[in-house]
Structure 1
Amino acid sequence: MQKPTEKILVIKHGAFGDLIQADGVLRDIRNHYPQAEIVLLTSPEFESLMHRCPHIDRILTDSRSPIWQLTKHIALSTTLKHELFTQIIDLQNSDRTRLYRRYILPKSQWIARLSGLEPESGLKGQLALLKQALIPIHYAYSPNVSWMADNISFLLKRHRVQSPYIALIPGCSASHPEKRWPFYKELATALLKHGFDVVNILGPDELEMADHMPGHCLTKQHGLFSWFELAGILNQASFVIGNDTGPSHVASCLGKSGLALFGAHSSVTRAEIRRGDFRALKANDLRQLSVETVLAAVLPKLPTPIQHPTTLKHRPNYSVR
């Protein structure tokens, strides 16, 4: 087997949604350098996830330790220097990675954002880097993380989930409670009345919801154990409704039909979550976004329900972005 002529380091620490969204960018890099060894530097919590990504060869992890933890910084510096990378593509473009460029790998060839330039979104910033590196853009606008999705038919059967089902993502990071739409319980009840089965996907920060959410609740304590099962649940859903959070980005990058709910603290443009039949609905105050408005946005897009639907009153006009 011929030894790769180039060794490229791609830096993308996260966050989860941003890393998922970079799938098409990574694919374009791979297509442009088919014989290179491509190594991803990412956060430790994403190591098992990105090992399955078909566009990279190896993973290095960076815990981004505080500056006073010198031992860890020295170990990372030693590792990166010994790799002898021929090129570094900095998709993270953070203050930390700029320090890496200046102090750890100052003699390497870097593709990084020019100082003072702030892109409209993280994805557009990565597209600018591809253009800067003269890498043709074919897939960056259309990430496809089907490689994430396991076959979870056994899981659906175990929990007696019936198709077609609607996947709800009622949570988000605990550090951003303002991104949570507060009416998922009422939405789940309404969807069940319309004849659709409902699967609530709950992360570690919203386990308390499991006791009172109508429909099925899948958590690590209820049978959902991995990134890949999460993607499998989303992949087999007929429609996905979620907040501005990582799993909603997974659904968008799986090519699913769906709707993400955005409040005043989130930018639909910067999120770059709209693609295909996955759209966004923005409200200045998520507490004022009614269940009826969300239903009016999604019901015309849903398949024939498993039961005879109960017609809801009041179907207001809406605008889905």
Structure 2
Amino acid sequence: MPKMTEKTAKILIIRFSAFGDVVQSLSLPSALAQTFPGAEIHWITRQDMAPLLQNHPHISRIWQLDRKKGMKGLIALCKEMRQENFTHIYDAHNNTRSRVISLMLRPLGMFGMGPQFIRRSIRRWKRFLLFRLRVNTFEMPFSGQRDLLEPLQPWGVSKLPPPAPQIFLSPESVEKAREVLGSYEGAIALAPSAAYFLKRWPKEYWKELILIFPNEKFVLLGGPEDSFLEDIRSAAPDRVLNLAGKCSLAVSSGVVSLSRLLVVNDTGLLHVAEQLGKRTIALMGPAPFGFPCRPSTKVMEINLPCRPCSKHGQGPCVNKARFHQCLVDITPGQVAIQIKALQGKSL
């Protein structure tokens, strides 16, 4: 498809959640803008994810879905969006809500009429082969951003992610992060949590890592449910700041931006760091689809025949030889070597 040179394209991206997926999807507007110069790009997302999209130079308008309003609210929002006369719609989510939006904005789509439309495939058959039969037909190495960009190739969009940064934090979020950090600005950030236990590097390993660096300050990032972070802080309470549950997603992203580097499990803050271009060590365990791809991120993983074992790392662990081996075999000493390397020092 030839590039458009006038403001004739009006594109809608549909991606509601989750945190990490929305952050990875932030490469989409820039990639689309490269193919459609001057395009007006809209995005519909969940209300709590909207702050992550703000300030993006290639997003013209953010439509916010209030889940409390249910299907009635969704339909009302669709009626309003229909007035925009979108020329292109990319369903990057592929769930019931996104299908309702697609149907209402292109009711004659089955007849080839209305906006050009692409829906990202969930690739159920490939996933079945991978997780049930241990046959991998996915392009390697895994890349979360490539999987989001690749469906847009029929529109001439490259599957290579645009350069960082692709998340643009508000000055208010960065300033709030600076306030909560205080003297810990420029410290090493650690994100020991993850949605599922099997994606978490062992708690005791985080404590050992902190003790390897007696002259460093550390910041712990997590949600209000991550009470175990206080135990990690106890390894060196005089130089570890626990921000679990004290920051919004936007402010946590600001903390990452003000940190020297990030050590993180396979979770949303990994993608924040990647989109910022922040130096990062990613501890990758059982799940395959959230892999980073930028050179600023050092991926640490153990190659095992049982990996990957599940879509999200929800388990159970299928390794009969050693439970949780994919992360247990990544030692604090090995991570410490990578921290030193990222800082240009020798251990």
Q: TM-score range by the shorter chain?
A: 0.7 to 0.9
- Aligned partner of 1:282 in structure 2 is 301
CA distance change for structure 1 residues 300 and 76 in 2, over 3 Å: closer, same or farther?
same
Share of identical aligned residues, percent?
25
TM-score norm. by structure 1 comes to: 0.76
Question: For residues 173-225 of structure 1, what are the alpha-carbon distances to aligned partners after superposition, in whole Å with 9 as ceiling and x for unaligned?
Answer: 3xx222111235424432432x221111122331452365141112453xxx4
Residues in 2 aligned to 1:116 and 1:161: alpha-carbon distance in whole angstroms: 41
CA distance change for structure 1 residues 61 and 114 in 2, over 3 Å: closer, same or farther?
closer
Question: For residues 32-87 of structure 1, what are the alpha-carbon distances to aligned partners after superposition, in whole Å with 9 as ceiling and x for unaligned?
Answer: 33433221011111112212222111111235689xx5423432332333332222
The one-letter amino acid of 2:42's match is V
- Aligned partner of 1:111 in structure 2 is 117
Residue 296 (structure 1) aligned to one of 306, 312, 337: 337
Residues in 2 aligned to 1:153 and 1:64: alpha-carbon distance in whole angstroms: 27
- Aligned partner of 1:50 in structure 2 is 53
The one-letter amino acid of 1:259's match is I
2:150, 2:159 within 8 Å by CA — same for their partners in 1? no
Q: Does 1:198 align with 2:204?
A: no
Question: For residues 90-141 of structure 1, what are the alpha-carbon distances to aligned partners after superposition, in whole Å with 9 as ceiling and x for unaligned?
Answer: 2223454345434552333233147686665543333323321123x39725
Q: Does 1:161 align with 2:184?
A: yes
Q: Please, what is the CA RMSD of the aligned residues?
A: 3.3
Residues in 2 aligned to 1:122 and 1:262: alpha-carbon distance in whole angstroms: 13
CA distance change for structure 1 residues 26 and 157 in 2, over 3 Å: closer, same or farther?
closer
CA distance change for structure 1 residues 110 and 235 in 2, over 3 Å: closer, same or farther?
same
- Aligned partner of 2:30 in structure 1 is 27
CA distance change for structure 1 residues 139 and 155 in 2, over 3 Å: closer, same or farther?
same
| Secondary structure of the corresponding residue to residue 184 of structure 2 | coil
CA distance change for structure 1 residues 240 and 191 in 2, over 3 Å: closer, same or farther?
farther
Residue 37 (structure 1) aligned to one of 17, 36, 40: 40
2:15, 2:22 within 8 Å by CA — same for their partners in 1? yes
1:240, 1:258 within 8 Å by CA — same for their partners in 2? yes
Residue 216 (structure 1) aligned to one of 236, 241, 248: 241
1:68-83 pair list within 5 angstroms: 69-83=70-84
| Secondary structure of the corresponding residue to residue 112 of structure 1 | strand
The one-letter amino acid of 1:277's match is S
2:27, 2:145 within 8 Å by CA — same for their partners in 1? no
1:172, 1:180 within 8 Å by CA — same for their partners in 2? yes
Residues in 2 aligned to 1:188 and 1:162: alpha-carbon distance in whole angstroms: 19
1:301-320 pair list within 5 angstroms: 301-303=342-344
Note the C-alpha offset of 1:148: 1.9
| Secondary structure of the corresponding residue to residue 159 of structure 1 | helix
| Secondary structure of the corresponding residue to residue 20 of structure 2 | helix
- Aligned partner of 2:315 in structure 1 is none
Note the C-alpha offset of 1:153: 9.2
Residues 90-99 or 123-132, more deviating = 90-99
1:10, 1:90 within 8 Å by CA — same for their partners in 2? yes
CA distance change for structure 1 residues 256 and 162 in 2, over 3 Å: closer, same or farther?
closer
The one-letter amino acid of 1:140's match is P
Residues in 1 aligned to 2:67 and 2:84: alpha-carbon distance in whole angstroms: 19
TM-score norm. by structure 2 comes to: 0.71
Note the C-alpha offset of 1:303: 4.8
1:170, 1:180 within 8 Å by CA — same for their partners in 2? yes
1:234, 1:251 within 8 Å by CA — same for their partners in 2? yes
CA distance change for structure 1 residues 262 and 138 in 2, over 3 Å: closer, same or farther?
closer
Unmatched segments (≥5 aa) in structure 1? 306-310, 312-321
CA distance change for structure 1 residues 134 and 303 in 2, over 3 Å: closer, same or farther?
closer
Unmatched segments (≥5 aa) in structure 2? 1-5, 109-113, 127-137, 303-324
Residue 10 (structure 1) aligned to one of 10, 13, 19: 13
Q: Does 1:261 align with 2:283?
A: yes
CA distance change for structure 1 residues 83 and 110 in 2, over 3 Å: closer, same or farther?
same
2:45, 2:65 within 8 Å by CA — same for their partners in 1? yes
The one-letter amino acid of 1:201's match is L
| Secondary structure of the corresponding residue to residue 168 of structure 2 | helix
Q: How many pairs align? A: 291
